[in-house]
Homo-oligomer: A and B are copies of this chain.
Amino acid sequence: MKITIKEIAAISGVSTTTVSQILNNKGQRFSEETRKRVLKAVCEYDYNPDYFAKNMVHRESKTVGMIVPDVTDLFFSKVIEGVEAYFNKKDYMILLCNSRHSADKEKDYIKQLQNRSVAGILLASPNSLKLESDLKGSPYILIDRGLNTRAEGNLLVKEYSGVYQAIQHLIDNGHTQIGMLTNESGYYEMTERFEAYYQCMKDNGIKYDPTFLADGPVTIEGGYLAAKELLEKRIITALCCGNDQMAIGTYRAAYELGLSIPNDLSVVGFDDLEISSFLNPPLTTVNQPAFDIGYTAAQYLLQEIEQPNKVVPNKTFETTFIERGSTINIDK
C-alpha cells in the first residue's frame, strides 16, 4: 500500500492538517522549518495524495471520456491526437471508448463514464442526436456532428463548401459523368457532402442520376466494395468519394478493373489524411483540420467544465480543396 498522509504527518511530527495545507499551498504561513521537514518526508517517501480520497472531497476527477466510432479510423485517430494534446497540458486524462459504430455501446459507455464521475464527455458519433438526453448531466461536446440541439459549443466543418468546390473543379475540367460514394448510416457530414454534390451538379445543369451513387461503410474496404459495384455498372469519368479512406479503396477497385487513375477515372476524396498525399497518384481531396478539431473540442469541453456559466462559442472549421494527381482535365 502507498504511504498515507497520516504517516507523513507522524514522520514529520505534525498533524495531517499541516501536511495537507503545506502540500496544497493553503492556509497561513507555516514556519519555514516545519515546511521543510514536511516536504522532506514527502519527497523521501514519495508521497502522493490518494486520488480517490482526494476526489471524495473535491470531486475533480480531472478525467474526461472520449467515445469514437473506430479508433483505427485515420480521421478519428488524428482527432484523438488533438484531444490528447490539449488535455495532457491541462493535467487531464482521457478514458478512451471505442464504440465500433454501435449506438448501444455508445449508450453503455456514456453510462459507465458518468458512473465514474468524469468531468466531461467528448462524443464522436452519427447517433449523437439520439444520445443527447443520456448526456445530460455532464458537460459534453459533440465532435464531427454539425448540428445538435444546443445553441452553443457546436463544432461545424464546412463540409458543404469543400465538396462543392471539388465537384465544381471536376465539372470545370470537363467531367459530367460524376459518381459519388456515400454513406447513409447517419453521419451528418456524409449527408452534407452528398448535398453539396447534388447541388453542384444541379447548379451546373447536369441531371442527377441516382445510379451514379453507391453506398458503403466509410472505410477502405467499404470504399473498395462500393466503388467496385459502381464502376462495374456505370461508366463514369470521375468519382467523388465520401472520404479519403473510401478513395483509397477506390484506387484498388479501379486497379482491379483495369482503370487507370487519373486517365480513365478522376478521383477526389475528403479529409486530406496524411497518407493521401503519398498515394499513387497523390489524391486530390478536401482538407479538414482533424487535429485542430480535436484540440478545439477539448478546449471547449474544458471551458464547459471549468466555467459552466460562460457561453461556449460555436466554431466553424474551414475546408480547403487540394488538387493533386488523381484528377485530370478531360476536355480536348
Nearest CB in chain B to that of A65: its residue = B93
- The oligomer's copy count stands at 2
- From A73-81, A206-214, A231-239, the one touching the partner chain is A73-81
Interface of A is mostly: helix
What's the Cα separation between A331 and B80 when bound, in Å? 48
What's the Cα separation between A112 and B93 when bound, in Å? 9
Nearest CB in chain B to that of A282: its residue = B252
Inter-chain contact B278/A220, CB cutoff 8 Å: yes
- Residues of chain A in range 57-90 having any CB-CB distance to chain B below 8 Å: 59, 61, 63, 71-72, 74, 77-78, 80-81, 84-85, 88
- Residues of chain A in range 258-279 having any CB-CB distance to chain B below 8 Å: 274-275, 277-279
Q: Point out the residues of chain B lying under 8 angstroms from A252, CB to CB.
A: 277-280, 282
What's the Cα separation between A77 and B3 when bound, in Å? 36
What's the Cα separation between A251 and B277 when bound, in Å? 11
Q: Point out the residues of chain B lying under 8 angstroms from A45, CB to CB.
A: none
Q: Point out the residues of chain B lying under 8 angstroms from A277, CB to CB.
A: 252
Inter-chain contact A249/B221, CB cutoff 8 Å: no
Provided the pairs A72-B78, A115-B51, A255-B280 are in contact, do residues A96 and B96 lie with their beta carbons within 8 angstroms? yes
Q: Point out the residues of chain B lying under 8 angstroms from A71, CB to CB.
A: 71, 77, 80-81, 84
A148 within 8 A of B: no
Inter-chain contact B72/A77, CB cutoff 8 Å: yes
Nearest CB in chain B to that of A249: its residue = B278
Q: Closest approach, in angstroms, between the C-beta of A98 and any C-beta of chain B?
A: 5
- Residues of chain A in range 215-261 having any CB-CB distance to chain B below 8 Å: 220-221, 224, 248-249, 251-252, 255
What's the Cα separation between A271 and B277 when bound, in Å? 21
A55 within 8 A of B: yes
Inter-chain contact A81/B85, CB cutoff 8 Å: no
Nearest CB in chain B to that of A245: its residue = B275
Q: A52-B61, A91-B112, A96-B96 are in contact. List 7 more A-B contacts (CB 8 A).
A: A48-B115, A51-B115, A52-B52, A81-B98, A95-B95, A251-B278, A252-B277
21 pairs, A vs B, C-beta closer than 8 Å: A48-B115, A52-B52, A52-B55, A52-B56, A53-B56, A71-B71, A72-B77, A81-B98, A84-B98, A88-B98, A93-B95, A93-B113, A95-B95, A96-B96, A220-B278, A224-B278, A251-B280, A252-B278, A252-B282, A255-B281, A280-B280
Which residues of A are in contact with B by a Cβ distance under 8 Å?
48, 50-53, 55-56, 59, 61, 63, 71-72, 74, 77-78, 80-81, 84-85, 88, 91, 93-98, 112-117, 220-221, 224, 248-249, 251-252, 255, 274-275, 277-282
